[in-house]
Structure 1
Amino acid sequence: MAQKEDLADERNALKCIFARSLDDLTLRNKLGQLCASYLGGIWTTVSCQQICITTPRGGFNNKIFVVELPNGIKAKCNEPKKVILRIYGNLNERYELSEGIISAILSERYLGPRLLGIFPGGRFEEYIPSRPLTNDEYCKPCIAQEVGRILARVHSLDMPISKVCSLAQFVDDLIIGLKSSTRWTRSYPMHTTLAKVNKELCPDFITIDLLAKELKICKECLAQSGSPIVFSNNDLHEGNLLLRDGIKVTDQGFVNMKNEKDPIVLIDYEYGCYYYRGFDLCHYCVECCQHNEGKIWPYYEVKQNQWPNEEIQRLYIGAYIDEANKIWRNSNGKKMECIIDLPDDREVAIEYLLKEIRQFAAFPQLFWAIWSFQHAEIDHGDFDHFEYAFDRLAMYYYWKPEMLKYLNQ
């Protein structure tokens, strides 16, 4: 017990240290210790004041830093010159262990950045010369196809982690947290800032008990869905897809593809666990309509007209099915869980998954609404999580009738 408490204290201390300014001496000393211990080699010879550290955009939950050797100091052999330092925000011990295992396996399978070092409260990983996709790029047909292929590879993995759907427990914990908040001792008029949804689809007021009730309805619907439980990312959006340097995204496809590496890399498996295939698949379409990097209040945009048309959805799902079937054929084993329920006829299988996307689209909206209400309790920055949650909630009610079809089939 004492050891667990010590580890928890170490994680919290690390989080506090890396919340300081980048020139803070305590932060610098800790950075130097971590680099020397987990990167080794040339990093053991560099003064903590010499190490270059910057913060890229992104990272709602984790603090992300780019850490680099100073000019004039060369890395030897396979030593990294530049790395990513990820400091966990609000992962408890159980989730942190799972993410560490997930990161290591994805690294070995070339499905994510190479893991360079892991420690209580964070990790070092490979720096991939790249940038996050823009919302406009994210909606392009070539990205839809590439995301379909990536998800097929991810969903085909057999991960040595709990097969219990921990995402359900995670959102239950969020509700419990909100129930202890003084903010949620009252009701709030249902409203939107940017989402355009028929008021008749929405309740007049939102309470914590209503959110819990809606969550219960979602669980009942998804349990009836027949969607298989697979290893999933559960946080697919433009900011978690890195476009490698030099490659351009156009309406016609990728430009400047110079090697066999995948043009985009899916990162951040903080919510990675076994969950419904439909939750991950619909995420691509749902997030086409969300842009979380707005420049003025409320610092996000809702772009409902960007829901992928049927042609793009078919490209996306077709790529998913084709890649999964390719993995199955190459494995000489039994059909993977992610396609075990699909008919052999490709067009019929595509129709089946297009329907699954529509019927699952409500739940990510509720999930991220509840997540945002909870985040509003702890994050008081410019991004308006509280209003964001209401817009997400409105989109939940927009899609809810599709989800309810699971109870009537």
Structure 2
Amino acid sequence: MAVKIHGFIEGTQSEELMKLLLTLASNWGDVFDTSKLKVVHLSGAMTNVVYRITWPKNGSENEERTVLVRVYGEGSDIFFDREEEIRTFESISSHGHGPRLLGQFAEGRVEEFIHAKTLSAGDLRDPEISALIAAKMREFHNLNMPGSKNALLWPRMRKWVIEASSLCSPEQAKEFQLEILENEIDALEKELSQSDQNVAFCHNDLQYGNIMIEDETKTITLIDYEYASYNPVAYDLANHFCEMAANYHTDTPHVLDYNVYPDLEERRRFVQAYLSSTGNEPSDEEVVQLIDDIEKYTLANHLFWGLWGIISACVTKIDFDYMEYARQRFRQYWLRKSQLLKGKTGISQISEEINDLVLE
């Protein structure tokens, strides 16, 4: 890594970061003593390396000042433009969402530390918390952000196919059928763009580690906007559902369990909360249509994060089995593709199943 703080983070840019922290501490009236820094590595991040850094506040032994330091992961610039990400970060902050940007150094940045609890995998299944997340996602999707309002999903995946093909071995390229993926993406875009879908500003990476809750006020905060862009709303909701198959705080964090993918009742409840969060009660048809769109967009999610896994395996040293993660995402894509695109129409099937739930 490119920084060194009290032996926890190593590299050559430590002086720049230390100057930044000293400037921040001085602006806040703190006495900055490097021997009293506390540095904790926060697990669960798979694109960057994240640390919580604490020092005495205003020279007090009883109060602490805390910031979050984000060190950019090796090769992560392949996935997004850092300057554009910073502009997005600052714009989201200006709208009153997430942490404030406190400063930047060559290979990372310092952010406001949010004093709230990061969710666990199990929290996503709590009906109360799930409804709060749904409402916060709707609020996030209503942000009016600068720049292009066109969906970035499709061109981004096409770019990643080229990157993955140039980075991985011929054997891996054959295993993941990279030579036909651009055709798959074209066909999927054509299929999923047929209906009139809502394109809005999306988070695109709403795993549990990127969601925080303040226990007393039950306030939800969404963090980490590296992948945020305009996309179909159904894609963002599908991503959140797919993340329920993951638990990144186990001995095998790369392993996905699709047996715990949210069932129809969980998905219906979430969509109902999402659509009604602005005060307008949706029709049954609206709920069913969005559930159907979400299920189809899980396919795009599997391709997106499968490609991400292949590229990450080739460029990063973070301890995570990216290649096996990619295999699981592609396996799920090919397994579900025929069910979602060629079988019985999702709308009619979902309508029947929801009617069955009501009758029960």
Q: TM-score by structure 1 length?
A: 0.74
Query: Which amino acid in structure 1 is aligned with residue 305 of structure 2?
Result: W
Give 1:118 deviation, angstroms. 4.2
Letter in 1 for 2:67: V
Q: Distance in 2 between matches of 1:19 and 1:32?
A: 8
Deviates most, 371-380 or 231-240:
371-380
User: 2:257 matched to 1:269?
Assistant: no
Given that 2:70 and 2:108 are in contact with CA atoms closer than 8 Å, whether structure 1 keeps it comes out as: yes
Q: Residue 308 of structure 1: CA displacement?
A: 1.7
| Structure-2 separation of matches of 1:172 and 1:40 | 46
Shift of 1:22: 1.7
Would you say 1:394 and 2:328 are equivalent positions? no
Counterpart amino acid of residue 312 in structure 1: E
Structure 1 residues 126 and 23: CA distance shift in structure 2, 3 A: closer
Alignment gaps of 5+ in structure 2: 348-360
Deviations 1:286-332 (A, max 9, x none): 11112233314xx3332222222232222211111122456xxxxxx
Q: Distance in 2 between matches of 1:51 and 1:96?
A: 28
- The whole-number CA distance in structure 1 between the counterparts of 2:79 and 2:126 is 38
CA contact (8 A) 2:29 2:58 kept: no
Residue 166 (str. 1) matches residue 152 (str. 2): yes
Residues 28 and 288 of structure 1: CA distance in aligned 2, closer, same or farther (over 3 Å) = same
TM-aligned CA distance change 1:186 to 1:36, over 3 Å: closer
Q: Secondary structure at the match of 1:160?
A: coil
Amino acid at match of 1:236: L
Distance in 2 of aligned mates of 1:18 and 1:370: 32
Separation in 2, partners of 1:275, 1:120: 30
Match of 2:291 in 1: 354
CA distance in 1, matches of 2:193, 2:178: 23
In the alignment, is residue 210 of structure 1 matched against residue 180 of structure 2? yes
Partner of 2:357: none
In structure 2, which of residues 314, 334, 337 is the aligned counterpart of residue 377 of structure 1? 314
Match of 1:101 in 2: 87
Cα deviation, 1:227-283, whole Å, max 9, x if unaligned, reads 221100000111111233xx3xxxxxxxxxx33x51x32111100011111110112
**2:154 and 2:122 mapped to 1: Cα distance?**
31
Q: TM-score, normalised by structure 2?
A: 0.83
Distance across 1 between alignment mates of 2:306 and 2:260? 20
Matches within 5 A, 1:115-134: 115-118=101-104, 121-134=107-120
Residue pairs, 1:23-172, within 5 angstroms:
24=10, 26=12, 28-38=14-24, 40-42=26-28, 45-70=31-56, 73-74=59-60, 81-89=65-73, 90-91=76-77, 95-118=81-104, 121-172=107-158
SS at match of 1:301: coil
Q: Is the 8 A contact 1:175 1:370 kept in 2?
A: yes
State the Cα distance separating 1:26 from its structure 2 match.
Answer: 4.9
2:3 aligns with 17
The reply to whether residue 404 of structure 1 matches residue 341 of structure 2 is yes
Aligned to 1:220: 190
CA distance in 2, matches of 1:146, 1:84: 25
Report the alpha carbon displacement of residue 71 of structure 1 after superposing the two structures with TM.
7.4
Q: Conserved in 1, the CA contact under 8 Å of 2:168 and 2:311?
A: no
- Distance across 1 between alignment mates of 2:60 and 2:202: 39
Runs of 4+ in 1 over 4 A off after TM superposition: 18-21, 23-28, 42-45, 118-121, 185-188
How far the C-alpha of 1:25 sits from its partner, in A, is 8.3
- Give deviations 1:195-230, integer Å, cap 9, x for gaps: xxxxxxxxxx53320333322222222332432211
1:289-368 equivalences under 5 Å are 289-296=245-252, 299-325=253-279, 345-368=282-305
User: Structure 1 residue 44: deviation in Å?
Assistant: 7.1
Cα drift, residue 184 of structure 1: 3.0
Moved more, 278-287 or 47-56: 47-56
Q: Distance in 2 between matches of 1:243 and 1:81?
A: 20
How far did residue 24 of structure 1 move? 4.9
Q: Separation in 1 of the partners of 2:172 and 2:66?
A: 49
**Inter-CA distance 104–71: structure 2 relative to 1 (3 Å threshold):** closer
Which residue among 232, 242, 246 is the counterpart of 2:212?
Answer: 242
Judge conservation of contact 2:211–2:221 (CA < 8 Å) in 1: yes
Gaps of 5+ in 1: 1-14, 189-204, 248-257, 327-343
Aligned residue among 166, 172, 179 for 1:180? 166
Distance 1:218 1:20 in 2: 50
Q: Which residue number in structure 1 is paired with residue 354 of structure 2?
A: none
Change (3 A) 1:374 1:186: closer
Output the CA distance in 1 between the equivalents of 2:261 and 2:79: 37
What letter matches 2:223 in structure 1?
I
Distance 1:71 1:394, change over 3 A: same
Change (3 A) 1:380 1:95: closer
Structure with higher RCO (Cα < 8 A, 6+ apart)? 1
For residue 286 of structure 1, what is the amino acid of its counterpart? Answer: C
* Secondary structure, aligned partner of 1:399: helix
Q: 2-side partners of 1:172 and 1:226: how far apart?
A: 23
- Secondary structure of 1:218 counterpart: helix
- CA separation of 1:120/1:163 partners in 2, compared to 1, >3 Å: closer, same or farther? farther
* Structural RMSD (CA): 3.1
